[in-house]
């Protein structure tokens, strides 16, 4: 059981770890572009604000020596003395560059690009064409693998809206790399904590599951040893259902309840015919008129036949209950089989003055065991004859649900309400309306077992106009 818990825990840990790594990779991959997008948005604000401040000096033609240039020079020399997310910021890492309407740089806060033609760069080129200009390029064009910087431009216009030039703010990408790395580390660190928490939860769940399964295993081992133990699981989940299934299996394997029920009910059922036989035998030993002697002798024969029928049906039922599936299936003419049973029952029906209305279509073929099906049909017809009043008894085959349904109608009193849920139980029977006697209570139970083995079903329902209808449905295959 420890191995089961370990396997479940390892599987849970592996899934949690893979999920954590995947989520961490996705988040880390999204952090860098997210930070750069936020930085670009701020640079757009800065570029447009500075473009408005530089417009007056640009229109006057003294952008390099005016108030704007002096303010920028003082600003880049500032020490912000800031701490951003535990990172100190002690310098202004921003460059400002202005190109005229031809793309020639007329102002550069770093003085490195003054007089150069930047009209081919996207930040200047796109802005001069009336579009949003931005680019990310190496700080030194001669070193393409070196550090890069983000360039965001804004147009510089005079009071009449005439385009004077382009102002570009430059922010080194390395300036926000610490924040990207710190965010990635936070994601990874919290992802590992989450994975550890998942593993801890998975370990607890695995231990709990192993404990419950272990109780069921020990319960099954105790059953194997024949020990008396109490069912350990009473919950409604799958393990509780498994525990109840084991308890039920134990009862069936023990056979105690099964045997006790058989013996007690069979003893009770046999008492009545045996008492009648004994009483008739004692009376026959004394002198009596011949008519009485014949009546008591006939009673002994009837009760003996009843006992024989009970024993035969018990043997047949025991044979059926021991089988989970039919050993052999063969195509058989269900209409012919039912017709043969009805023909055998005609004599009994005639003795009671009843007619049997039989409607059997040709081609009613099913797969099954002819012996068992004959017993089932015989029990249904006999049961209907026992309860029929004036008749006629109706026996018919109708196609239904991809199979054939045998319907046996009688005009008797129907099934009492108290017997509706028990009519197919073993040894359960109701009194016959003609003589008040009860059967062995095995006939309909045998029919239910035959239906089960053939993949069919049996029902017995009262009819709205009186009487009852037994329906035995069988699949074609």
Please tell me which residue, 469 or 35, carries the higher pLDDT value: 469
Average pLDDT of the residues in 123-144: 88
Q: Are residues 128 and 161 in the same domain?
A: yes
Would the pLDDT of 80 be above 90?
no
Would the pLDDT of 322 be above 60?
no
Q: Are residues 294 and 369 in the same domain?
A: no
Say how far apart CA 282 and CA 276 lie, in whole Å.
10
Length of the chain (residues):
477
Average pLDDT of the residues in 434-456: 75
In a domain, 234, yes or no: no
Q: Are residues 340 and 467 in the same domain?
A: yes
Would the pLDDT of 57 be above 90?
yes
Span of 128-137, 285-294, 376-385 with lowest mean pLDDT: 285-294
Report the number of distinct structural domains present in the chain.
3
pLDDT value for 196:
76
Average pLDDT of the residues in 308-320: 62
Average pLDDT of the residues in 2-22: 66
Please tell me which residue, 470 or 178, carries the higher pLDDT value: 470
- CA 52, distance to chain mean position in Å, is 65
Q: Are residues 71 and 15 in the same domain?
A: yes
Give every CB contact of residue 136 below 8 A, 6+ residues apart in sequence. 148, 149, 150, 151, 173
User: Which residue, 291, 307, 322, sits at the end of a domain?
Assistant: 322
Q: Of the segments 6-20, 207-221, 444-458, which one has the largest average pLDDT value?
A: 444-458
Under 8 Å between Cβ of 124 and 166 = yes
Q: Are residues 287 and 345 in the same domain?
A: no
- CA 46, distance to chain mean position in Å, is 57
Please tell me which residue, 309 or 45, carries the higher pLDDT value: 45
User: Which residue, 181, 213, 233, sits at the end of a domain?
Assistant: 181
Would the pLDDT of 263 be above 80?
no
In angstroms, what is the C-alpha Rg of the chain?
49
In a domain, 213, yes or no: no
pLDDT value for 137:
87
Locate 283 and state its tokens.
Answer: 């009376």
Q: What is the CATH number of the domain that holds 461?
A: 3.30.565.10
Q: How confident is the model at residue 197 (pLDDT cuts 50, 70, 90)?
A: confident
Average pLDDT of the residues in 223-234: 60
Give every CB contact of residue 210 below 8 A, 6+ residues apart in sequence. 1, 2, 4, 5, 8
Say how far apart CA 394 and CA 358 lie, in whole Å.
6
275, containing H or E segment = helix 256-284
Angle at the Cα of 357 (from 354 to 362), degrees rounded to 5?
Answer: 150
Cross-strand pairs, 395:
358, 408
User: Which residue, 129, 161, 181, sits at the end of a domain?
Assistant: 181
When the pLDDT of each residue in the chain is averaged and rounded to a whole number, the result is 78
Q: Are residues 72 and 166 in the same domain?
A: yes
Q: Are residues 316 and 376 in the same domain?
A: no
% of the chain at pLDDT higher than 90 = 18
In a domain, 297, yes or no: yes
In a domain, 316, yes or no: yes
Span of 132-141, 224-233, 366-375 with lowest mean pLDDT: 224-233
% of the chain at pLDDT higher than 70 = 74
In a domain, 467, yes or no: yes
pLDDT value for 108:
94
Locate 221 and state its tokens.
Answer: 């081992």
Average pLDDT of the residues in 69-76: 91
Place of tokens 């269900």: 334
**Short-list 83, 85, 42, 38, CA closest to 186:** 85
β-strand 105-108 against 134-138: which pairing, if any? unpaired
pLDDT value for 423:
79
pLDDT value for 281:
76
In a domain, 25, yes or no: yes
Q: Are residues 270 and 352 in the same domain?
A: no
Please tell me which residue, 118 or 323, carries the higher pLDDT value: 118
Q: Of the segments 6-10, 348-352, 373-377, which one has the largest average pLDDT value?
A: 373-377
Q: Are residues 259 and 158 in the same domain?
A: no
pLDDT value for 277:
75
pLDDT, tens only, 136-194: 888 877 787 878 889 999 999 998 889 999 999 999 887 777 777 777 677 777 777 77
Q: Are residues 19 and 168 in the same domain?
A: yes
pLDDT value for 257:
47
Say how far apart CA 331 and CA 311 lie, in whole Å.
30
Domain that includes residue 62, residue range: 2-181
Please tell me which residue, 185 or 97, carries the higher pLDDT value: 97
Q: What is the CATH number of the domain that holds 306?
A: 1.10.287
In a domain, 242, yes or no: no
Please tell me which residue, 386 or 150, carries the higher pLDDT value: 150
pLDDT value for 434:
67
Q: Are residues 110 and 54 in the same domain?
A: yes
Would the pLDDT of 253 be above 60?
no
Would the pLDDT of 378 be above 60?
yes
In a domain, 24, yes or no: yes
Span of 228-232, 287-291, 364-368 with lowest mean pLDDT: 228-232
pTM over 0.75: no
Average pLDDT of the residues in 110-118: 90
Q: Are residues 366 and 476 in the same domain?
A: yes
Would the pLDDT of 258 be above 50?
no
Please tell me which residue, 237 or 389, carries the higher pLDDT value: 389
Average pLDDT of the residues in 221-233: 62
The 3-class SS string of 404-453 reads EEEEEEECCCCCCHHHCCCCCCCCCCCCCCCCCCCCCCCHHHHHHHHHHH
pLDDT value for 448:
85
Average pLDDT of the residues in 331-356: 84
Would the pLDDT of 264 be above 60?
no
Would the pLDDT of 15 be above 80?
no
């Amino acid at each position: 059981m420890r191995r089961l818990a370990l396997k479940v825990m390892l599987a849970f840990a592996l899934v949690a770890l893979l999920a954590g790594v995947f989520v961490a990779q996705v988040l880390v991959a999204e952090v860098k572009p997210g930070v750069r997008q936020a930085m670009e948005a701020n640079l757009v604000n800065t570029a447009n604000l500075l473009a408005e401040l530089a417009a007056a000096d640009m229109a006057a033609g003294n952008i390099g020596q005016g108030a704007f240039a002096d303010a920028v020079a003082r600003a880049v020399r500032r020490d912000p003395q800031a701490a951003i997310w535990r990172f100190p910021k002690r310098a202004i890492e921003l460059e400002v560059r202005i190109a005229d309407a031809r793309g020639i740089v007329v102002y550069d806060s770093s003085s490195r690009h003054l007089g150069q033609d930047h009209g081919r760069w996207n930040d200047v080129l796109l802005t001069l064409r009336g579009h949003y200009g931005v680019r990310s390029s190496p700080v030194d064009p001669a070193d393409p693998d070196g550090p890069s910087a983000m360039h965001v431009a804004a147009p510089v216009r005079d009071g009449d809206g005439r385009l004077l030039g382009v102002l570009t703010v430059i922010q080194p990408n390395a300036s926000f790399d610490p924040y990207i790395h710190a965010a990635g580390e936070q994601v990874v660190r919290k992802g590992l904590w989450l994975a550890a928490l998942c593993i801890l939860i998975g370990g607890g769940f695995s231990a709990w599951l192993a404990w419950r399964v272990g109780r069921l295993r020990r319960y099954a081992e105790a059953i194997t040893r024949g020990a008396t133990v109490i069912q350990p699981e009473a919950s409604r989940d799958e393990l509780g259902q498994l525990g109840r299934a084991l308890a039920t299996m134990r009862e069936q394997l023990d056979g105690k309840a099964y045997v006790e029920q058989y013996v007690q009910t069979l003893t009770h059922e046999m008492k009545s015919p045996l008492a009648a036989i004994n009483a008739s035998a004692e009376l026959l030993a004394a002198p009596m008129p011949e008519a009485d002697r014949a009546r008591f002798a006939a009673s002994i024969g009837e009760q003996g036949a009843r006992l024989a029928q009970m024993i035969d049906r018990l043997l047949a039922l025991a044979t059926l209950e021991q089988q989970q599936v039919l050993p052999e299936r063969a195509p058989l003419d269900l209409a012919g089989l039912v017709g043969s049973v009805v023909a055998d029952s005609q004599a009994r029906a005639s003795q009671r003055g009843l007619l049997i209305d039989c409607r059997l279509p040709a081609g009613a073929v099913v797969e099954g065991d002819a012996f068992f099906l004959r017993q089932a049909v015989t029990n249904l017809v006999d049961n209907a004859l026992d309860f029929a009043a004036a008749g006629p008894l109706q026996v018919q085959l109708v196609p239904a649900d991809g199979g054939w349904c045998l319907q046996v109608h009688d005009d008797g009193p129907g099934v009492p309400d108290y017997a509706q849920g028990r009519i197919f139980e073993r040894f359960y029977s109701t009194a016959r309306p003609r003589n008040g006697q009860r059967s062995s209570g095995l006939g309909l139970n045998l029919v239910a077992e035959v239906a089960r083995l053939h993949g069919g079903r049996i029902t017995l329902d009262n009819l709205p106009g009186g009487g009852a209808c037994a329906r035995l449905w069988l699949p074609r295959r």
